[in-house]
Amino acid sequence: MKNAFALINRIPPDALSLIPEYWNHRERDRNLIKLTHVCRGWRVLFASRPSLWNRLNCVDVNKTLAYLKRSQSSPLEVSLKGGKEKGVPYCDDALHLLDPHIGRVKSLVVIGVWEDVLLGITTHFSCPVPLLEHLSITIHSSWTPVLKSALFDRDLSSLRTLELDGVATRLPWKNLSNLTSFSLSRVPEDKFSTEALLNLFERAPLLRKVSLIHSIPNSSNAPPERVVSLPLLKEFDIRGSLPFSTLLNHLSVPPNALMTMTFNITGDRLPIQDHHPKSLANF
């Protein structure tokens, strides 16, 4: 009876159970279990809302089991850390529990140090993931590993955002028809080519944002007459490499798109004077 008069318990249960969804990710993951320990009523209330339990880091078997059970059929957001990355690394036994639920994964973020991280991820995610909308892979290493083409069976038909940092891939995958944002960072020129980027852009007609950070080929292996159109492009950000015209001269960009290039000036002459693209209308 005393609990019934508490101000917090005057909030309708449906409204009360929504509050944790407005916390940031770190706070929600840290405090969600505490909410279920307040009282029996709160435990039933919060444990029965699937959308509160859909974020997995796979660091503990028991925790992963509880989250998978309580999330029911909700889309999953998976964040994995491996190698010597700060924070608790994922546990392979816990990640193995995710295998029957791969079809529910909506977002996958991977941060690691060793190529073993990529090998483990490829092992678990070698089948199509029909709900996957966001994929981000960051590898901190002195060399650039190559993402295996077996990942997702090369089919990313629902993907909206693709971010690759410090990892190369045999671009393109088979289906990128819904991709709207693409970011490639810290990939040496010998790990990919202008032709590979053009192939990706050709298979992603809905691209609105492209970011190439220290990931520009210095030469082109594409025919000079090949031009790929990006009709919906809104932002194009290039950083780090001077011969950006190698790629831009193969692209047709809408006149309202914002293009930004950042480079270092190492002499008296502006590098842009030697490497300017055919059109400067968007800069």
Parallel, antiparallel, or unpaired for β 181-185 and 161-165? parallel
CB 258 within 8 A of CB 282: yes
Using one digit for the tens of pLDDT, what is the confidence trace for 176-223? 899 999 999 998 877 878 888 898 999 999 999 999 998 887 777 888
Residues in the chain, overall count: 283
Residues 172 and 196: beta-carbon distance below 8 Å: yes
Summarised one tens digit per residue, pLDDT across range 228-264 is: 999 999 999 988 756 566 788 888 888 888 988 887 6
Task: Tell me the average pLDDT of the chain.
Answer: 85
Q: Is the pLDDT of residue 149 over 70?
A: yes
Average pLDDT over residues 45-73: 93
CA–CA separation, 111 vs 169, rounded Å?
16
- Do 110 and 138 contact (CB within 8 A), yes or no? yes
